[in-house]
Amino acid sequence: MNAAARALQEHFGSAVRVPTDFESLRHAYTAARPFPHIVIDDLFDPALLEGLVSGYPEQWETIEQEGLERTKRMRSALDVGSGRDLVALMHSAGFLYLLSEITGIWQLLPDPYLQGGGHAMMKRGDYFKVHSDRNIAYDTGLTRRLATIVFLNKDWRPEYNGQLELWNHEGSRCEVSVEPEFNRTIIFEVAHPNYHGVPHPLACPDDRARRSFLLYYHTVDIGKGDKITPHTSRFAPQFYRKKKSLLRQALEQITPPIVLSSVRRLIKGKPNP
């Protein structure tokens, strides 16, 4: 264990199992295909995650885009509940340093409003077709750089589906499949076309759910020469429904999913949950 890893391990105590070789991890992250990512098992103290497994938000926002996405997310950062301690840990300076040592991206900033983050759940029949993530935070204008997903599923079987798939840049082929097992963490670069998703509808029993906890990290990028064009989730070409007009596809690309969900409920005459 080098000096940086030793200092972080002393800082975290038993809450985080700090990897011993940052150089090897950074190489693994940057060299990973189809885009930079790394999967780490048992990163957190299991006791820290146990509360998240048993502590569900009382209310969920169902996110629906016809044929593209059906998932459930917590309604706001105020509903984080059992995730408070994990958020505090993962938003701390020590954890930001850890992410930077692994990825090589420095001056990372967390999102205290948890836009698109926090508790996530998928039930039987739910899915999230292959896409690349929104690249700009909704309100702050910060550039999203990293997504970190902590899986919370015990005794999850492969036949339940729910694997996180990482696809090639053409969005034509799955190259990595990650089982959503308890205390498995994936860190990956947010960029286009870093396609990923859970494209196969879940086939788990009705009384089971695929649980995860998601956080995004950002940079300010002041003074950078490259201009970033803001966009919401971009779905891989083969997952678009052909009957949609180009105008409708464009509107769905620039409108936050939570707004689309509310509009559809109004059209169908259903109240928001």
pLDDT tens per residue, range 150-173: 999 999 999 999 999 999 999 999
As a whole number of angstroms, the distance between CA 96 and CA 13 comes to 16
Q: What is the DSSP letter of 248?
A: H
As a whole number of angstroms, the distance between CA 84 and CA 74 comes to 13
* Spans of all domains in the chain: 34-81+108-268
Q: What is the mean pLDDT of residues 177-188?
A: 98
Class at the top of the CATH hierarchy for domain 34-81+108-268: mainly beta
Among residues of the chain, what percentage have pLDDT more than 90?
68
Residues 6+ apart with CB under 8 A from 70: 62, 63, 64, 125, 126, 127, 128
Q: Express each pLDDT in 73-124 by its tens digit.
A: 998 999 999 999 999 999 999 999 999 999 999 999 999 999 989 999 999 9
pLDDT band at 57; cut points 50, 70, 90: confident
Q: Find where tokens 């929104």 sit.
A: 134
